[in-house]
Structure 1
Amino acid sequence: MEELYKGDNVVLTLDEVQRKNSARPKKSEEGVRHFRFILRSPATALPPGDFHLAAPIDFRRFSLKLMQFARCVQSIVNSCQTLFRSNQLLKELSKSGQIDEARKVFDSMPKRDEYTWNTMMAAYFNSGKLVEARKVFDDIPCKSSITWSCLISGYCQYGCGYEVFDLFQQMRLEGQKPSQYSLASMLRVCSMLGLIQSGELIHGYVLKSGFESNVYVLTNLVDVYAKCKRMSEAEYLFKFFSNSRENNVLWTSMLTGYAQSGDGHKAIEFFHDMHKEAVELNHFTFPSILTACSSVSSQCFGELC
């Protein structure tokens, strides 16, 4: 089968249109209808740049009836390829810290998609230019939950707690539902700043919105309660995980919470449980267990670590 369009998850073909078109007109028309359905259907629509021309269209193989449609397809692909290449260049310049050059590319693009706007906004955030990032967000003609998540995550990087919660309220007022990533980012701010009341409010929203079993959200919830020395709530959420042994961040959050709460014996016991469950240790694990050892004057155990 001759592939005309190829993407990561979808392969679009006009095999029935291009192959033996004159001999099989009904198959050609079915191929065209199927392709139009894919382009128009919200369930299968691909953002520009997610597919590319894998084989040039041979217009000589089309009947006159389908020639106009084939040329339209060719035009769509050429436009998407241009946008895709511009987005890739924008991404590379942003990653390398060439923000001014990235902005020039951004300004020169005749067409932009959601990826374009989010990439430029993230580039400013990563460079510490919060005002410029917000300006890009304000200029986006159609904002989605992904765009809002990008903005919230950017402010979360700098611990801007008040701004983050204001944005959260604005997002909900505009009818956009927070994603798992925006909720996790907000919970990280609560953990960083010790905002237990705000963390509890987000916890309530999580329960109402169906994110109570999301691993990213619950891991950050555990971290909030543990960092704020609310270990009973953290323990309850920890036990909720059925695959907790695979989440070393979750275990370390609990261990750190016990150590910071002054419960060194529980922290040491928890550290032994991590070994039993073969949980992978990370660079936060050992400082926490050493703090626990210091709190119970367990010098012998500290030397073994």
Structure 2
Amino acid sequence: MATAVKSIATNPTIPNYRRNKRPDRSRSSSSIISILKICKNMKELQQIHANLIKTSLIHDMSAVNAIIEFSVIHGNLPYALSVFETTPNPTLFAKNFMIRGHAQSEFPLSAITFYVRMLSEGFEFNKFGFSFLIQACLRSQAAEEGKQIHGQILKFGEIDAHLASSIICFYSEIQDLDSAHRAFESDLGSIASWNAMIDGYSKSGDMEMARRLFDEMPQKTLIAWTALITGFVHLGRFIEALEVFETMQRSGFRPDERTLVSVLPSISHLGALSLGKWVHSYAENSGMESSIFLRSALVDMYSKCGSIENALELFEKMGPTKRNVVMWNAMIGGLAMHGHGRDALELFQEMLASGTKPTDVTFVGVLRACSHAGMVDKGLKYFEAMKDLYELEPTTEHYGCMVDLLGRAGRLQEAEGLVRSMSGQPDVVVLKTLLGACRVYGNVDIGERIGRELLELASDDSSCYVLLANLYASVGRWVDAGKVRNLMKERGVKKIAGCSSIELDNVAHEFHAGDMSHPRIKEIYAKVEEMGQRSKVEEGYTPDTSQVLADIDEEEKETALYRHSEKLAIAFGLINTIPGSTIRIVKNLRVCLDCHSVTKLVSKLYDREIIVRDQNRFHHFKNGVCSCNEYW
């Protein structure tokens, strides 16, 4: 700042404040603003401020305004407040900026206190001040205060498009969509209000109303398109989100960074790798790939679409010092999902060495890595370190990972003890994880106890009934299994059918267990039959009918196994892709033992890599071997 001060004293185009006792006020004002504009930090500002006090130019209101503005923008509200309090008759500009400073501070509602004080002094704010007050209420989720400020706006203020959209956003955030719609109807001419209202309905999950408004919108915007995509994604309506994304482009709109980040979860969920690669290419060509948020989303997409190599390549392009915690988490979680547990833990150590502080999401990936790799002791160690060393309170997701870790290893009593140690009621996912482990190990004592809890806790969740019935069936207790299925019918709960999808030429083909709806279904079943026969003749495969938990004869059980959805999807892939190419399958449930065995054999017999993403993890089948090493 010494250089800046020197320039004030020697630059002939700027009045010399030390030599000129009576500077030309008209020239001084513009010069002060020019100097403040090149100011880089608060230290420089303080030196300029001190100089202005010495030369009495601090009484220039434009200088006061500039100092307050700079201080607020740079997050130093106390300094701005000290200048404001020592200024007689501060301007409207200064008061608005003080409202902004309070609204953006750690305690947003202090803006309301400041506003009330100004009102008591007879001052009335304009639309800019009211806009910051609404933001303060929005940040604090202060419903009553926000409604009162809205009343003040109607009484004293003028409403422009920006303020109107801020009011709509506020009501949407506090889930008062009726008030939001009334505010919207009073400002139908504003595109910003249309955007805010569509976004509000989308965030609330009312996609029908959001879509209706969007269709009525006089002029479509990228913001509105993105709001629709985001809304469908949040509801898990991923195919509809992609349909909107494609329609948006056909309508001539080019996606921006926010749009791409919004659509990537749909691509990830559906395993639409080719579309994900298109998004990556588009981001590169549009100069958006350098965005840390978009890169993190792309790493996550590649991991969830089964291309861990692409995820690693993109991750490595961003050096350790440029990675944020979201990107580290995405890569650690991706490696864990693909069964590269040791690599995930090594990367976690790199993350710590880089100085990045782990979050609760980090430890979900770390614990999953331990679980999928069978590293029980390490998992227990990291779980304790998470609490004791990093002071992170375990969530139900962490407990679920630990129950999975212990359950896979057959340590069911420890797993149940951990569940009982949780504060509050264990959630459905944790209990289902434990019940699933009991099914694998045939532990009816613990499983029956947990199953009964689940039927009380989640009486409308079909998987709870299925898990308990399957536990009984696995040990031959068919009567008890039948009772559970009858209870399920009595309560009107329908079982979720197994579903597998495969992407071909940007189209996702879905198959359900026993599916007969596909136009090429005869050809598909013929291929399934061929796969089974070749596996039997060439590799000595015997169908694992123990996986069919129904009291029927062996032939019927074999037929049921052939109809599993992943076998249909794999057959479709063999028919429609070139020899030697990779087949990628996404399944909504856990892969059964028989399908796992058959897929290993098919990968060898047909010389294909087959990548299957099931409910728990990725399985990479190649040359008759699976990456999970039979531990899933």
Give per-residue Cα distances to partners, 1:5-56, cap 9 Å, x unaligned.
x9x99xxxxxxxxxxxxxxxxxxxxxxxxxxxxxxxxxxxxxxx98589xxx
**2:341 aligned with 1:264:** yes
Equivalent residue number for residue 176 of structure 1: 253
Distance 1:297 1:169 in 2: 42
Q: 1:139 and 1:204 mapped to 2: Cα distance?
A: 33
Look up the equivalent residue of 1:248 and give its one-letter code. V
Q: Are the structure 2 counterparts of residues 199 and 301 from structure 1 closer, same or farther at C-alpha, using a change threshold of 3 Å?
A: same
The correspondence for 1:134, drawn from 205, 208, 211, is 211
Pair 1:106-2:188 in alignment: no
- Of 217, 229, 232, which aligns to 1:152? 229
Q: Which amino acid aligns with 1:200?
A: K
Q: Deviations over 1:89-143 (max 9, x none)?
A: 322221111112221221233x532321111111111221101001111122122
State the alpha-carbon separation in 2 of the partners of residues 121 and 134 from structure 1: 8
Residue in structure 1 matched with residue 467 of structure 2 by the alignment: none
1:94 aligns with 2:172: yes
Do the aligned residues in 1 keep the contact of 2:315 with 2:327 (CA within 8 Å)? yes
Q: Which amino acid aligns with 1:203?
A: H
Cα RMSD of the aligned pairs, angstroms, is 2.9
**How far apart, in 2, do the equivalents of 1:84 and 1:294 lie?**
50
In structure 2, the residue matched to 1:65 is none
**Counterparts of 1:1-305 in structure 2 under 5 Å?**
81-109=159-187, 111-242=188-319, 245-305=322-382
What's the TM-score once normalised by structure 2's chain length?
A: 0.35
CA gap 1:136/1:269 in 2 versus in 1, 3 angstroms: same
Cα distance 1:182–1:296, how it changes in 2: closer, same or farther (>3 A)? Answer: same
Distance of 1:208 and 1:87 partners within structure 2:
33
1:241 Cα shift?
A: 1.4
Larger Rg, first or second structure (1 or 2)? 2
Moved more, 218-227 or 81-90: 81-90
156-165 or 272-281, which moves further after superposition? Answer: 156-165
The count of residues paired between Structure 1 and Structure 2 equals 238
Alpha-carbon distance change, 294 to 100 in structure 1, aligned in 2, over 3 angstroms: same
Partners of 1:182 and 1:81 in 2: CA distance = 29
Q: Say if 1:200 and 1:151 are closer, same or farther in 2 by CA, change over 3 A.
A: same
**Deviations 1:255-304, CA, capped at 9 Å, x for gaps:** 11111111111111111111111222122211221222233333332232
CA distance in 1, matches of 2:250, 2:378: 53
TM-score (norm. length: structure 1): 0.69
| Deviation sequence 1:177-225 (CA, Å, 0-9, x none) | 1110111111122223333232123223223333222222221110011
1:244–1:256 Cα change, 3 Å: farther
- After superposition, the Cα gap between the structure-2 partners of 1:98 and 1:292, relative to the gap in structure 1 and judged at 3 Å, is same
Q: Equivalents in 2 of 1:260, 1:165: separation in Å?
A: 24
CA contact (8 A) 1:203 1:221 kept: yes
For the Cα contact (< 8 Å) 1:146–1:179, is it kept in 2?
A: no
Identity %: 29
Q: Deviations over 1:224-262 (max 9, x none)?
A: 111233211011100121465541111111111111111
Any gaps of 5 or more consecutive residues in structure 2?
1-28, 30-60, 71-125, 131-155, 383-632
> 1:181 and 1:212, CA in 2 relative to 1: closer, same or farther beyond 3 A?
same
Gaps of 5+ in 1: 10-48, 54-77
Contact 2:292 2:323 in 1 (8 A): no
Does the Cα contact within 8 Å between 2:207 and 2:228 map onto a contact in 1?
no
Confirm or deny: 8 A CA contact 1:264 1:292 kept in the other structure: yes
Question: In the alignment, is the contact (CA less than 8 A) between 1:183 and 1:217 conserved in 2?
Answer: yes
Say whether the 8 Å CA contact 2:202–2:230 is kept in structure 1. Answer: no
SS of the counterpart of 2:208?
Answer: helix
Of 213-222 and 87-96, deviating more is 87-96
Does structure 1 conserve the Cα–Cα contact (< 8 Å) formed by 2:127 and 2:160? no
> 1:189 and 1:80, CA in 2 relative to 1: closer, same or farther beyond 3 A?
farther
Structure ranking higher on relative contact order (CA contacts 8 Å, 6+ apart): 1
Report the AA paired with residue 211 of structure 2.
Answer: R
Hey, what's the Cα distance between the residues in 2 that align with 1:216 and 1:50?
Answer: 33
CA offset digits 1:50-73 (Å, max 9, x no partner): 8589xxxxxxxxxxxxxxxxxxxx
Q: Residue 165 of structure 1 aligns to which amino acid in structure 2?
A: L
Q: Specify the alignment match of 2:496 in structure 1.
A: none
1:168 to partner: Cα distance:
2.2
Q: How many angstroms apart in 2 are the aligned matches of 1:222 and 1:290? A: 20
Change in CA separation of 1:282 and 1:195 when aligned onto 2, cut-off 3 Å: farther
- Which amino acid is the alignment partner of residue 252 of structure 2? G
Contact 1:225-1:231 within 8 A present in 2 as well? yes
Contact 1:238/1:250, CA 8 A, preserved across alignment: yes
Q: Distance in 1 between matches of 2:363 and 2:192?
A: 39
